[in-house]
Amino acid sequence: MKSLPALLKENRCGLVLLTLFAYLLIQPFFMQGLAGRVIIGVLVTTVLFSAVYAVAESKNHIAVVVAISLIALLSAWGASVTGSKTWFLFSDISNVIAYFYIVGILLAYVLRDGRVTADKLFAGVSVYLFLGILWGRLYHALALAIPGSFAGNGLLGGTEHVGNIVDYTYYSFVTLTTLGYGEIVPVTPPARSFAILEAAVGVLYLAILISRLASLYRRQSAFTEKE
């Protein structure tokens, strides 16, 4: 039986996936007050630490990932402690940059040639969840920078009544999966453009991912049969 460190090393992206699920499940219950914001800061920290660990073997990217993750962490904790609109905006932007870079590395890992392993599948799902969280941060930043970008009874308040990050994470996943419940709607042209882009990315990502993994699996099966 393999030890826990060995399992974690083989399934680095599995750890990322677990932290992402924890973030999405726990975050909505701890949005009020300083204590809640600190808990959110801890969750963001675990997500970024797990992502750094997952890409640690990528020598070309690890320094950049560590640097942008540290900036994202500092800004996230600044927002958590102060509750300031400026800190929240800086946190949103820095986290978007960090998540976008991490998504690029994980996506390259998922799509490159090689065996289809459990870790690749974990990475593929992690990319999808990162996209939803990333766009949620984009929407929140847009709502802070341009109040009135979104409207609807799904906005629960938050910083200056533009909605909190949970509202926009929810809206992001509704858009990414093209469910479109309608409680929150984009009003301004920039908000609508981001929503259109996310919906397109959500559909295309699943189509490309399934096609690529199926191709790799067929190639892997054919190679196994020849042996």
Rounded-to-integer distance, Cα 44 and Cα 38, Å:
10
Which domains does the chain show, CATH number per domain?
4-226 (1.10.287.70)
- Report the distance separating Cα 134 and Cα 61, nearest Å: 19
Confidence of residue 159 (pLDDT cuts 50, 70, 90): very low
Give the pLDDT confidence of 16-32 residue by residue, as tens digits: 999 999 999 988 887 66
Q: What confidence tier does 217 reach under pLDDT thresholds 50, 70, 90?
A: low
Burial of 20 (0-12, 13-18, 19+ CB in 10 A): buried
pLDDT of residue 126: 93
Number of residues in the chain: 227
Mean pLDDT of 217-226: 58
Query: What would the mean pLDDT of 52-59 be, rounded to a whole number?
Result: 75
Per-residue pLDDT reduced to its tens digit, 200-211: 999 999 888 888
Question: pLDDT value at position 140?
Answer: 92
11 backbone dihedrals φ, ψ, rounded to 5°: -130, 55
DSSP letters for 59-91: TTTHHHHHHHHHHHHHHHHHHHHH--HHHHHHH
Residue 156 pLDDT greater than 90, yes or no? no
| pLDDT, greater one: 10 or 6 | 10
CA 41 from chain centre, in angstroms, equals: 15
* pLDDT, tens only, 89-146: 998 999 999 999 999 989 888 888 777 788 888 999 999 999 999 999 999 999 999 9
DSSP string, 12-40: HHHHHHHHHHHHHHHGGG--SHHHHHHHH
- Report whether pLDDT(8) > 80: no
Greater confidence (164 vs 187) lies with 187
